[in-house]
Structure formats: C-alpha cells, structure tokens
C-alpha cells in the first residue's frame, strides 16, 4: 500500500489502466497466499498477466507526441549520471570551465566504455524539487557549455571519443546568463565541435530543447531513445507564441514533429534506440543495457574512419538538414 501511494503522484494518465490491472493481479495473488482453502488461482493470474502485457504494448505503441513528451519529462526517467554510471567501466567527474564557473546542470568527465577511454558529458536534471533547483532543471549556463567544450578539447587532445547525453528544456534564459554570454558560448561550441578529430556520438535521452540541446549536439551520429523528444521550442512556448494559449501544447507537439519517429523519417536522426516496453523509467537497467550496446556498435564503426572522413561526415550530415524539394519544380 505504501508503494502504491508513493507511485501514484508519478503516474501518467495513460498509465493508470495498466497500473490498476497490475494492482488487481497483486491483490489476487496476496489473497490466494493468505487463504487457507488452497484455492488455485494460477490460471486466472496467468490470463490477467497476459492481458497486462498486451495492454502495455497497446499503450506504449500508440502514444501521441504529447504523451511521449510526458515520458521524456518523467521524474523517474534515467538521467545522464544514471546512464554514465550504468554503462561505464569507470568514470571520474571533472569540474569547472577554468574561467571561474562550475555549472551543476551540465556534468562531464573521463571514463571507460567497453575498455575504451572516452569523455562523457551531458545535461543533468534533478530527482525532486530541491535537486532540480540545485541543477537548475537541467538548463545549463554559459559556464556549463564552456566546461563541456573544455572537456571535449581534452578528449580531442588525447584521442578519446566523445559521448554526449542531451536532456534539457533549453539553455538557461536568465538575465545573468545573457550577461555571461549565453549565445556566444553555444555558438562557439557549435563551431568548435565541427573541427574535432575524434568520434562524437550525441544521444537525446529525454528532452532535447532548442539551443540548449544543440550546444552539445553536433556529432557524427545523432541517436535518440524511443520516447525522447527533440524540438526547436517547447510545445508550451510554441502554443503561447502562435495561439496565445499554452493549453494548446498538445496541438503544438503534433505540429512540431518532435518525436524520434518523426526525426527518423526526416533523416535528421541516425539511430532510434528502442526502450523497454513501459519506457526507460519502468526498467532503467534494461534501458541502460540497450543504450550501451548501441553506443558500442556505433563507436566501433566511427573509430574505423579517418579523422577527415568523420569531419566530412559531420559536415554533410548537418548540411542535409532542412533541405527540401519544391513539388512545383
């Protein structure tokens, strides 16, 4: 009962029928164990479990963009540090931009993936309100992007591949961030990431928002977890701008084409990484194993290329984005 109460505030609306069915299965199982009549309910439980598995697949294979956005923002969804600790053999976090700042909203360090030294970095959200305030809800400051660039230059100097994990609603838009040069810091990263010699794999693990995502999003491969989103602006902001009504965010989410499936169809996404049925927050260990396998496979391919081949691949990848054909031509 305590567990159910703890889970209830984190339940999304479309998850409730599934949880109700799972609770019913658990109640029947508990009643059978407590009963002294020796009633066999194994067949009934088996049927309900099959129905629950079917319902889980039906729900998570027919989600709307707005529902996928809810999953991307789920407070229990694995974060950058969760994935790094799960997939790395060892990892040491490094701090500071060497300019006087150390942004907790963007973390990074040196680690090892399948025995290969790598630099891993990404946005870090909090688990609760207090942690989110400390992490600024994953919205990095100019110091965060300068720290990221320092770590990437370190990786380039020592020939270590770079793995970035994107999970932010956007860069911090506060007055202080503007005073510190937020736009310049992101623009500098965009330019410099194109010239790096080492392999770069960027993975959207949750919410990829605006320039805040792009600041660590230039790479040879762009991967997205199945229920992650990537967008030029949050649906709420888009709805407020276009219709003066943030309540129309679901409509905006549909129009913006923010899901991994949409971006795969547009050719922007290189690899869609599947999540366990029920999404990453329901089975985080399995989600990390799937992501690790995808990263290792892509890294093996990229490491076989020359530095120039990777730079050319990176350049051509982003040159193709936004190209379209006029039907009247």
CA distances from 77 to 14, 189, 196, 275, 284 (A): 16, 27, 31, 11, 8
Phi-psi region of 324 (alpha: psi -120 to 50; beta: other; left: phi over 0): beta
pLDDT of residue 9: 47
pLDDT in tens, 44-60: 777 777 777 777 777 88
Spans in the chain with pLDDT lower than 50: 1-9
Q: Decide if 325 is inside a domain.
A: no
At 32 the pLDDT is 66
Residue 52 confidence (pLDDT): 75
Q: What is the pLDDT of residue 326?
A: 63
Domain count, the chain: 2
Task: Decide which of 27, 44, 62 is a domain's last residue.
Answer: 62
Tens digits of residue pLDDT in 128-181: 899 999 999 999 999 999 999 999 999 999 999 999 999 999 999 899 999 999
The residue from 47, 62, 77 where one domain ends is 62
Q: Is residue 326 part of a domain?
A: no
User: What pLDDT shows up at residue 328?
Assistant: 64
Same domain flag for 112 and 253: yes
Domain span holding position 283: 69-320
Q: Which residues contact 158 (CB under 8 A, 6 or more apart)?
A: 117
Q: 200-209 and 162-168 as β-strands: parallel, antiparallel, unpaired?
A: parallel
On whether both 40 and 128 belong to a single domain, the answer is no
pLDDT of res. 39: 64
């Amino acid at each position: 009962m305590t567990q159910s109460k703890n889970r209830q505030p984190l339940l999304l609306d479309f998850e409730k029928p599934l949880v109700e069915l799972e609770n019913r299965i658990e109640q029947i199982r508990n009643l059978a164990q407590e009963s002294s009549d020796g009633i066999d309910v194994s067949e009934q439980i088996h049927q309900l479990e099959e129905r629950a598995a079917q319902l889980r697949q039906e729900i998570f294979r027919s989600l709307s963009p707005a529902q996928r956005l809810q999953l991307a923002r789920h407070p229990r969804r694995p974060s950058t540090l969760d994935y790094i600790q799960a997939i790395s053999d060892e990892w040491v976090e490094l701090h500071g931009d060497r300019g006087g700042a150390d942004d907790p909203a963007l973390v990074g360090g040196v680690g090892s993936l399948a025995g290969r030294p790598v630099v891993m970095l990404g946005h870090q959200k909090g688990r609760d309100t207090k942690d989110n305030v400390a992490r600024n809800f994953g919205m990095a400051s100019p110091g965060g992007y300068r720290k990221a660039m320092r770590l990437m230059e370190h990786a380039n100097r020592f020939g270590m591949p770079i793995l970035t994990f994107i999970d932010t609603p956007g860069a911090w838009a506060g007055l202080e961030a503007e005073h510190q040069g937020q736009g310049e810091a992101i623009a500098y990263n965009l330019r410099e990431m194109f010239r790096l010699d080492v392999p770069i794999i960027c993975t959207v693990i949750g919410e990829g928002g605006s320039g805040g995502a792009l600041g660590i999003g230039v790479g040879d491969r762009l991967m997205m977890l199945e229920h992650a989103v990537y967008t030029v602006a949050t649906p709420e902001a888009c709805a407020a701008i276009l219709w003066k009504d943030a309540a129309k965010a679901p409509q905006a989410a549909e129009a913006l084409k923010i899901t991994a499936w949409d971006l795969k169809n547009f050719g922007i996404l290189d690899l869609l990484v599947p999540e366990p049925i029920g999404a990453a927050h329901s089975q985080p260990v399995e989600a990390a194993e799937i992501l690790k396998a995808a990263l290792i496979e892509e890294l093996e391919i990229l490491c076989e290329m020359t530095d120039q081949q990777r730079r050319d691949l990176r350049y051509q990848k982003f040159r193709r984005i936004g190209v379209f054909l006029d039907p009247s031509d």
